[in-house]
Amino acid sequence: MKIGVLASGRGSNFQSIIDSIESGYIPASVVVLITDNPRAFSIERANKQGIESRVMHPGSYPSRDEYFRAITSELKKREVELVVLAGFMRIVGRPLIEAYPNRVMNIHPALLPSFPGLHGQKQANDYAVKISGCTVHFVDEGMDTGPIIIQAAVSVHDDDTEESLSERILKLEHKIFPEAIKLFCEDRIEMQGRRVVIKGAAFDDRPLISPQPGAGLP
Ligand code: GRF
Protein backbone atom coordinates (compact mmCIF):
# COMPACT_ATOMS: atom_id res chain seq x y z
CA MET A 1 0.00 0.00 0.00
CA LYS A 2 1.41 3.38 -0.99
CA ILE A 3 0.63 6.24 1.36
CA GLY A 4 0.90 9.99 0.72
CA VAL A 5 1.09 12.21 3.79
CA LEU A 6 -0.04 15.84 3.95
CA ALA A 7 1.25 17.78 6.97
CA SER A 8 1.73 21.41 7.95
CA GLY A 9 3.74 21.31 11.14
CA ARG A 10 5.76 19.39 13.70
CA GLY A 11 4.57 16.00 12.42
CA SER A 12 4.51 13.92 15.59
CA ASN A 13 1.66 11.90 14.06
CA PHE A 14 3.67 11.55 10.85
CA GLN A 15 6.52 10.19 13.00
CA SER A 16 4.23 7.68 14.70
CA ILE A 17 3.23 6.44 11.24
CA ILE A 18 6.86 6.23 10.09
CA ASP A 19 7.74 4.28 13.25
CA SER A 20 4.80 1.91 12.81
CA ILE A 21 5.87 1.18 9.24
CA GLU A 22 9.49 0.71 10.32
CA SER A 23 8.48 -1.81 12.99
CA GLY A 24 6.35 -3.73 10.50
CA TYR A 25 3.08 -2.87 12.27
CA ILE A 26 1.69 -1.12 9.17
CA PRO A 27 2.23 -2.99 5.90
CA ALA A 28 2.76 0.08 3.72
CA SER A 29 5.23 2.72 2.69
CA VAL A 30 5.05 6.51 2.65
CA VAL A 31 6.01 7.54 -0.86
CA VAL A 32 5.68 11.31 -0.50
CA LEU A 33 5.18 14.07 2.05
CA ILE A 34 3.39 17.14 0.75
CA THR A 35 3.41 20.23 2.91
CA ASP A 36 2.06 23.76 2.58
CA ASN A 37 4.72 25.04 4.98
CA PRO A 38 8.40 25.25 3.99
CA ARG A 39 9.37 25.39 7.67
CA ALA A 40 7.39 22.31 8.72
CA PHE A 41 9.45 20.02 10.94
CA SER A 42 7.76 17.17 9.07
CA ILE A 43 10.18 17.84 6.20
CA GLU A 44 13.13 16.95 8.44
CA ARG A 45 11.37 13.79 9.55
CA ALA A 46 10.84 12.84 5.89
CA ASN A 47 14.46 13.61 4.97
CA LYS A 48 15.75 11.51 7.82
CA GLN A 49 13.66 8.62 6.57
CA GLY A 50 14.57 9.08 2.91
CA ILE A 51 10.97 10.02 2.06
CA GLU A 52 10.53 12.49 -0.78
CA SER A 53 9.00 15.78 0.33
CA ARG A 54 7.35 18.50 -1.71
CA VAL A 55 6.38 21.99 -0.61
CA MET A 56 3.23 23.11 -2.36
CA HIS A 57 1.83 26.47 -1.33
CA PRO A 58 -1.75 27.45 -2.19
CA GLY A 59 -0.54 30.97 -3.01
CA SER A 60 1.15 29.57 -6.12
CA TYR A 61 -2.15 28.39 -7.61
CA PRO A 62 -5.00 30.47 -9.10
CA SER A 63 -7.69 28.84 -6.94
CA ARG A 64 -8.24 26.40 -4.10
CA ASP A 65 -9.51 23.80 -6.56
CA GLU A 66 -6.39 24.19 -8.71
CA TYR A 67 -4.25 23.78 -5.62
CA PHE A 68 -5.91 20.52 -4.66
CA ARG A 69 -5.93 19.36 -8.28
CA ALA A 70 -2.16 19.83 -8.34
CA ILE A 71 -1.76 17.93 -5.06
CA THR A 72 -3.96 15.13 -6.41
CA SER A 73 -1.88 14.87 -9.54
CA GLU A 74 1.35 14.58 -7.48
CA LEU A 75 -0.27 11.80 -5.43
CA LYS A 76 -1.59 9.97 -8.49
CA LYS A 77 1.80 10.23 -10.21
CA ARG A 78 3.24 8.25 -7.33
CA GLU A 79 0.35 5.76 -7.33
CA VAL A 80 -0.72 6.75 -3.83
CA GLU A 81 -3.68 4.68 -2.61
CA LEU A 82 -4.26 6.23 0.81
CA VAL A 83 -3.87 9.90 1.72
CA VAL A 84 -3.13 10.67 5.36
CA LEU A 85 -3.62 14.14 6.82
CA ALA A 86 -1.19 14.38 9.72
CA GLY A 87 -1.77 17.87 11.03
CA PHE A 88 -2.58 19.38 7.64
CA MET A 89 -4.12 22.70 8.59
CA ARG A 90 -6.39 23.24 5.59
CA ILE A 91 -9.83 22.10 4.54
CA VAL A 92 -9.29 19.64 1.74
CA GLY A 93 -10.69 20.70 -1.63
CA ARG A 94 -13.13 18.73 -3.72
CA PRO A 95 -10.69 17.52 -6.44
CA LEU A 96 -8.72 15.53 -3.85
CA ILE A 97 -11.79 14.09 -2.13
CA GLU A 98 -13.37 13.08 -5.43
CA ALA A 99 -10.16 11.39 -6.53
CA TYR A 100 -9.84 9.54 -3.20
CA PRO A 101 -13.35 8.81 -1.86
CA ASN A 102 -13.05 7.29 1.66
CA ARG A 103 -9.32 7.16 1.05
CA VAL A 104 -8.33 10.36 2.83
CA MET A 105 -7.87 9.97 6.60
CA ASN A 106 -7.58 12.69 9.22
CA ILE A 107 -6.94 12.76 12.96
CA HIS A 108 -8.83 15.27 15.08
CA PRO A 109 -7.98 16.02 18.73
CA ALA A 110 -11.53 15.76 20.13
CA LEU A 111 -14.42 13.33 20.17
CA LEU A 112 -16.26 14.31 17.00
CA PRO A 113 -18.85 15.57 16.31
CA SER A 114 -18.00 17.67 19.39
CA PHE A 115 -15.47 20.44 18.97
CA PRO A 116 -14.65 20.33 15.26
CA GLY A 117 -12.30 22.84 13.64
CA LEU A 118 -9.24 24.40 15.17
CA HIS A 119 -8.09 23.87 18.76
CA GLY A 120 -10.35 20.93 19.62
CA GLN A 121 -8.50 20.41 22.90
CA LYS A 122 -8.95 24.05 23.98
CA GLN A 123 -12.63 23.97 22.99
CA ALA A 124 -13.19 20.83 25.11
CA ASN A 125 -11.26 22.21 28.07
CA ASP A 126 -13.05 25.57 27.93
CA TYR A 127 -16.43 23.84 27.72
CA ALA A 128 -15.26 21.77 30.70
CA VAL A 129 -16.44 18.40 29.48
CA LYS A 130 -15.38 15.46 31.67
CA ILE A 131 -14.31 13.20 28.81
CA SER A 132 -12.59 14.14 25.56
CA GLY A 133 -10.26 12.33 23.20
CA CYS A 134 -9.41 11.96 19.56
CA THR A 135 -11.01 10.72 16.37
CA VAL A 136 -9.67 9.22 13.17
CA HIS A 137 -12.11 9.74 10.32
CA PHE A 138 -12.40 9.74 6.57
CA VAL A 139 -12.46 13.18 5.08
CA ASP A 140 -15.46 14.54 3.23
CA GLU A 141 -16.13 18.08 2.12
CA GLY A 142 -17.27 19.29 5.53
CA MET A 143 -15.16 20.41 8.44
CA ASP A 144 -14.35 17.21 10.38
CA THR A 145 -17.68 15.64 9.38
CA GLY A 146 -16.61 12.46 7.59
CA PRO A 147 -17.27 8.83 8.66
CA ILE A 148 -15.59 7.93 11.96
CA ILE A 149 -13.10 5.05 11.97
CA ILE A 150 -11.71 4.95 15.55
CA GLN A 151 -12.11 7.10 18.65
CA ALA A 152 -10.24 7.05 21.95
CA ALA A 153 -11.24 8.80 25.16
CA VAL A 154 -9.40 10.43 28.05
CA SER A 155 -10.63 12.02 31.29
CA VAL A 156 -10.51 15.79 31.44
CA HIS A 157 -9.05 16.80 34.80
CA ASP A 158 -10.26 19.74 36.88
CA ASP A 159 -6.87 21.40 36.68
CA ASP A 160 -6.24 20.69 33.00
CA THR A 161 -4.89 23.36 30.72
CA GLU A 162 -5.08 23.23 26.95
CA GLU A 163 -1.47 21.99 27.03
CA SER A 164 -1.90 19.24 29.62
CA LEU A 165 -5.05 17.92 27.95
CA SER A 166 -3.41 18.10 24.51
CA GLU A 167 -0.49 16.07 25.78
CA ARG A 168 -2.75 13.32 27.12
CA ILE A 169 -4.75 13.26 23.89
CA LEU A 170 -1.64 13.25 21.68
CA LYS A 171 -0.41 10.01 23.26
CA LEU A 172 -3.65 8.38 22.13
CA GLU A 173 -3.44 9.98 18.68
CA HIS A 174 -0.14 8.20 18.22
CA LYS A 175 -1.87 4.89 18.95
CA ILE A 176 -5.13 5.14 17.03
CA PHE A 177 -3.86 6.80 13.85
CA PRO A 178 -1.41 3.98 13.05
CA GLU A 179 -4.10 1.51 14.09
CA ALA A 180 -6.64 2.97 11.62
CA ILE A 181 -4.06 3.03 8.83
CA LYS A 182 -3.13 -0.58 9.56
CA LEU A 183 -6.81 -1.61 9.36
CA PHE A 184 -7.13 0.16 6.03
CA CYS A 185 -3.98 -1.45 4.64
CA GLU A 186 -5.17 -4.87 5.75
CA ASP A 187 -8.50 -4.29 3.99
CA ARG A 188 -10.46 -4.65 7.22
CA ILE A 189 -12.56 -1.52 6.72
CA GLU A 190 -16.02 -1.81 5.24
CA MET A 191 -18.44 1.06 4.64
CA GLN A 192 -22.11 0.56 5.53
CA GLY A 193 -23.56 3.96 4.69
CA ARG A 194 -21.65 6.32 6.93
CA ARG A 195 -20.85 3.55 9.43
CA VAL A 196 -17.29 2.33 9.20
CA VAL A 197 -17.36 -1.35 10.08
CA ILE A 198 -14.07 -2.92 11.12
CA LYS A 199 -14.02 -6.59 10.24
CA GLY A 200 -13.20 -8.72 13.27
CA ALA A 201 -13.23 -5.76 15.67
CA ALA A 202 -13.51 -6.33 19.42
CA PHE A 203 -15.28 -3.91 21.75
CA ASP A 204 -14.61 -3.08 25.38
CA ASP A 205 -17.84 -2.37 27.22
CA ARG A 206 -16.22 -1.22 30.46
CA PRO A 207 -17.44 2.33 31.05
CA LEU A 208 -15.06 5.25 31.32
CA ILE A 209 -16.58 7.33 34.14
CA SER A 210 -14.93 10.67 34.75
CA PRO A 211 -14.33 11.62 37.51
CA GLN A 212 -14.39 8.25 39.25
CA PRO A 213 -17.52 7.89 41.41
CA GLY A 214 -16.64 8.27 45.07
CA ALA A 215 -13.35 9.93 44.26
CA GLY A 216 -12.20 12.01 47.19
CA LEU A 217 -14.76 10.54 49.61
CA PRO A 218 -13.40 9.10 52.84
C1 GRF B 1 -2.71 17.00 16.18
O2 GRF B 1 -3.20 17.44 17.42
C3 GRF B 1 -3.84 16.51 15.31
O4 GRF B 1 -4.88 15.94 16.05
C5 GRF B 1 -4.31 17.75 14.63
O6 GRF B 1 -3.15 18.51 14.40
C7 GRF B 1 -2.15 18.16 15.36
C8 GRF B 1 -0.95 17.76 14.58
O9 GRF B 1 0.15 17.47 15.41
N10 GRF B 1 -5.03 17.43 13.42
P11 GRF B 1 1.43 16.80 14.79
O12 GRF B 1 1.92 17.74 13.69
O13 GRF B 1 1.07 15.46 14.25
O14 GRF B 1 2.43 16.71 15.91
Structure confidence by residue, pLDDT tens digits, 23-72:
999 999 999 999 999 999 999 999 999 999 999 999 999 999 999 999 99
Rounded to 10 degrees, what is the CA torsion of 86, 92, 95, 97? 60
**Which residue's alpha carbon is at the smallest distance from atom 14 of ligand 1?**
12
- 213 pLDDT band (50/70/90 cuts)? confident
Per-residue pLDDT at 209: 93
Per-residue pLDDT at 214: 77
Q: CA-to-CA distance for 186 and 68, rounded, in angstroms?
A: 27
Q: Are 173 and 146 in contact (CB under 8 A)?
A: no
pTM attached to this predicted model: 0.96
Per-residue pLDDT at 162: 98
Per-residue pLDDT at 16: 98
Residues annotated catalytic, as ranges: 108
* Mean pLDDT of all residues in 163-172: 98
**Which residue's alpha carbon is at the smallest distance from atom 10 of ligand 1?**
87
* pLDDT tops 90 at residue 215: no
Per-residue pLDDT at 101: 97
Kindly give, in sequence order, each residue whose CB lies less than 8 Å from that of residue 130, ignoring residues fewer than 6 positions away.
155, 156, 210, 211
Cα(218) to centroid of ligand 1, in Å? Answer: 40
Cα(56) to centroid of ligand 1, in Å? Answer: 19
* pLDDT tops 70 at residue 216: no
Neighbour tally for 126: CB within 10 Å: 11
